[in-house]
Amino acid sequence: MRLQDRVAIVTGGAIGLGKGISSRLAREGAKVVLASRTESALREMASSIEANGGAALAVPTDVCDEEQVKAMVSKTMDRFGQIDLLVNNAGYIGQLGDFMSLPGSEWIDTYRVNLMGTMFCSREVLKTMIPKRQGVIVNISSIAAATGFLPTMPYNCSKAAIGILTTDLARIAAPHMIRVNALLLGPIDLSGAGVPAGASEVRPETASGQIPEELDLWPFFGMSAPPGGSLLPDEIASTIVYLASDEAAGITGEHIKMFTRLRE
- High-pLDDT (> 90) share of the chain, %: 72
In this predicted model, which residue has the larger pLDDT, 84 or 228?
A: 84
**pLDDT tens figures, 73-131:** 999 999 999 999 999 999 998 888 889 999 999 999 999 999 999 999 999 999 999 99
- Quick one: pLDDT band at residue 150, thresholds 50, 70, 90? confident
**Residue 194 clears pLDDT 50, i.e. is over it:** no
**pLDDT tens figures, 171-183:** 999 999 999 999 9
**C-alpha to C-alpha distance for 166 and 22, rounded to whole angstroms:** 21
Bridge partners, 177 (sequence order): none
Reduced to 3 states (helix: H, G, I; strand: E, B; else coil), residue 11 is strand
**Residue 52 clears pLDDT 90, i.e. is over it:** yes
**Residue 59 clears pLDDT 90, i.e. is over it:** yes
Domain spanning 7-258: CATH superfamily: NAD(P)-binding Rossmann-like Domain (3.40.50.720)
DSSP string covering 120-156: HHHHHHHHHHHHHT-EEEEEEEETHHHH--GGGHHHH
In this predicted model, which residue has the larger pLDDT, 7 or 223?
A: 7
Arithmetic mean of pLDDT over the chain: 88
Given this model, what pLDDT does residue 225 score?
65
Given this model, what pLDDT does residue 222 score?
59
**C-alpha to C-alpha distance for 209 and 110, rounded to whole angstroms:** 12
Bridge partners, 179 (sequence order): 136
- Identify the weakest region by mean pLDDT among 51-60, 190-199, 243-252: 190-199
What's the whole-number mean pLDDT along residues 157-168? 97
Given this model, what pLDDT does residue 94 score?
83
Q: Are 189 and 229 in contact (CB under 8 A)?
A: yes
In this predicted model, which residue has the larger pLDDT, 102 or 196?
A: 102
The catalytic site residues sit at: 155
Element (H or E) spanning 109, and its range? helix 104-111
